[in-house]
Chains A and B, each alone.
Chain A
């Protein structure tokens, strides 16, 4: 499946969270710490975590893109290109940790109060 590469104007080397406030979790989700892959928060609503690289880009699946594209636009992301063969993502208990990475929360799509 192709992926969609989007680019943020300023964010670099951060994990960027975007919340879908109309989708509550069945129970609160205790997000793993940043070094493990999450953001260390407890989420009550569906939250996407985008690992933005040093050039401000991140590749998302078409499924994710379709769900959050309006929020991406509101936050200043622009679509740069379609990626025919996105790189493999490695997860799991034996996967290498990320190291510390700053967390940036979308100003336009945060958890409802």
Chain B
């Protein structure tokens, strides 16, 4: 699958989803996923509760230094994000999502399973996701 925007997020941009994501204002976090427990499906998964069973460790801290349209037109970017002391199973993919604190209302945004370093086997230390210099995603 490589990398993709979740279909529900794409539809939400056009207003056809139950909730919308305001990347500027909402709390955006990342999740590491063990596909041995849950394999995300960008076509059918819409909220975090659809993939939360496979989450390794906790969600990341909120993405900081978010920008929209600064790196380039239609581009969302943020600072790199670090998961602290990850001790769980190996990770095949990661996603970013809007975190409301409730899985059934936390919209899934984007998915990567081909980024450098994947799959990753945690060593008990931190895992940092380094975003591309050209931004995290572009609409």
Which A residues form the contact surface with B (CB < 8 A)? Answer: 1-4, 20, 23, 25-27, 29-32, 36-38, 46-51, 58-64, 67, 83, 85-98
Contact = CB atoms under 8 A, between A and B. Distances in A.
Interface of B: 1, 3, 34-36, 38-39, 56, 80, 82, 85-90, 92, 94, 112-133
A89 B122 contact: yes
Contact of B128 (A27, A38, A51, A88): A88
A91 to B, nearest CB: 3
Contacts of A26: 35, 38-39
Contact of B116 (A25, A46, A93): A93
A90 B130 contact: yes
Contact of A92 (B34, B122, B131): B131
A47 B34 CA distance: 10
Contacts of B89: 46, 63-64, 67
B122 A63 contact: yes
Given A92-B130, A93-B131, A61 B39 contact: no
Contacts of B122: 60-61, 63-64, 89
A4 B112 CA distance: 28
Given A31-B119, A47-B119, A92-B116, A25 B90 contact: no
A59 B124 CA distance: 8
B116 A20 contact: no
B127 to A, nearest CB: 5
Contacts of A46: 34-36, 89-90
